[in-house]
Amino acid sequence: MRIFQNVDDLGNLREALDEAFAIQKDRFQFQSLGKNRTALLIFFNNSLRTRLSTQKAAMNLGMNVIVLDVNQGAWKLETEHGVVMDGDKSEHLLEAIPVMASYCDIIGVRSFARFESRDYDYNEVILNQFIQYSGRPVFFMESATVHPLQAFADLITIEQYKKEDRPKVVMSWAPHPKALPQAVPNSFAQWMNAADVDFVVTHPKGYELDPRFVGDARVEYDQMKAFEGADFVYAKNWSCPGVTRPDDYGRVLEDYNKFLDWTVSGRQMGVTNDAFFMHCLPVRRNMIVTDDVIEAPTSLVIPEAANREISATVVLKRMLQSL
């Protein structure tokens, strides 16, 4: 595997899940695979889970790991082509990428949506430059539009905890004071569409996800109706994806205070099939979800985060095997 961006990059999903559960049982079984290999993890944005779980995954495989926080200690990078570099950016990404690649075998990149242009974000300009100019396998550690390591961990978690063969999984928009990217909901929708689940998305009108991710998933605008009989509830905020109105891309369409009834609480969880609660974290309590729901025995947020190590180990293992 040379690129990890979308669910299809894994090939057969059942085989990938079986591999994940085998690694969960013994995460050090491929220690020799990464000997004298180096993973470079590049962060343009903050992280707790992705940083730690991916480092741990690389160490599980016997790799060396270098972590670079681009905005702390490195030269400020210009990412646009053709600009006169007379500002505060000292180095161009087009030199920095091959230089960074010369020190490693596999590259992971985190670079969030900028919300300046929908086309720029949805064309994945930054990550595609890493793919084009590094000559190395590249995996997405949350880009402008996708977060596949998270979605893979989410699917592993659902498979691990499901009580029905084909569980009902509901992804619900929830209020948030700031504009957040669509990477997590895009990937979650893409992966749920590929998995054997009954998938429903619920959000207020105006927050429709890009069709290339939401596909033919059922969209239900009535949150309570969507939650009925759910086995898993996946809460997440996202800003306007700008599908029907590109000018609204990246905006919080209305004051979040008007949507506080979308906060996942006992009211909605009460109509589910005793559903498990999931969120990728970090989460704003009593905004996205109430304390009692996230602290309940049915909350999976911690095992879900722990499974980030498993998803990253599978992905790095497959990339090492492609070298």
What is each CA distance from 123 to 69, 150, 209, 213, in whole angstroms? 23, 20, 16, 14
The reply on whether position 48 binds ligand CP by CB under 6 A is yes
- Nearest approach, Cβ of 233 to ligand CP (angstroms)? 17
Nearer to ligand CP, 150 or 268 (CB): 150
Neighbours of 53 (CB within 10 A): 24
For ligand CP, which residue of 150, 172, 223, 307 counts as binding (CB under 6 A)? Answer: 150
The reply on whether position 61 binds ligand CP by CB under 6 A is no
The reply on whether position 210 binds ligand CP by CB under 6 A is no
Nearer to ligand CP, 10 or 151 (CB): 151
208: which DSSP letter? P
Nearer to ligand CP, 49 or 203 (CB): 49
The reply on whether position 5 binds ligand CP by CB under 6 A is no
- Nearest approach, Cβ of 183 to ligand CP (angstroms)? 9
- Nearest approach, Cβ of 173 to ligand CP (angstroms)? 17
- Nearest approach, Cβ of 308 to ligand CP (angstroms)? 7
CA geometry: angle 14, 20, 26, nearest 5 deg: 145
The reply on whether position 49 binds ligand CP by CB under 6 A is yes
Nearer to ligand CP, 50 or 272 (CB): 50
For ligand CP, which residue of 105, 124, 142, 159 counts as binding (CB under 6 A)? Answer: 142
The reply on whether position 193 binds ligand CP by CB under 6 A is no
Q: Helix-strand-coil percent breakdown of the chain, rounded to 5?
A: 40, 15, 45
Phi, psi of 208 (to 5 degrees): -60, 130
Tell me which residue has its CB nearest to ligand CP: 50
**Single-letter code of the amino acid located at 108:** G
By CB under 6 A, how many residues form the interface with ligand CP?
Answer: 9
If phi > 0 it is left, if psi is from -120 to 50 it is alpha, else beta; for residue 179 that is beta
d(CA 242, CA 304): 29
Site for ligand CP in 235-294 (CB under 6 A): 280-282
- Nearest approach, Cβ of 265 to ligand CP (angstroms)? 22
Q: Is the separation of the CB atoms in 311 and 153 below 8 Å? A: yes
The reply on whether position 128 binds ligand CP by CB under 6 A is no
Token pair listed for 272: 């589910």
195: which DSSP letter? S
Nearer to ligand CP, 280 or 293 (CB): 280
What is each CA distance from 279 to 83, 185, 197, in whole angstroms? 40, 11, 18
The reply on whether position 157 binds ligand CP by CB under 6 A is no
The reply on whether position 144 binds ligand CP by CB under 6 A is no
The reply on whether position 306 binds ligand CP by CB under 6 A is no
177: which DSSP letter? S
Name 184's Cβ contacts closer than 8 Å, sequence gap at least 6.
142, 147, 150, 151, 236, 238, 280
For ligand CP, which residue of 50, 134, 268, 272 counts as binding (CB under 6 A)? Answer: 50
Phi, psi of 110 (to 5 degrees): -115, 120
Nearer to ligand CP, 47 or 79 (CB): 47
Phi, psi of 256 (to 5 degrees): -60, -25
The reply on whether position 208 binds ligand CP by CB under 6 A is no
- Nearest approach, Cβ of 156 to ligand CP (angstroms)? 14
- Nearest approach, Cβ of 54 to ligand CP (angstroms)? 9
Contact residues: ligand CP, CB under 6 A: 47-50, 142, 150, 280-282
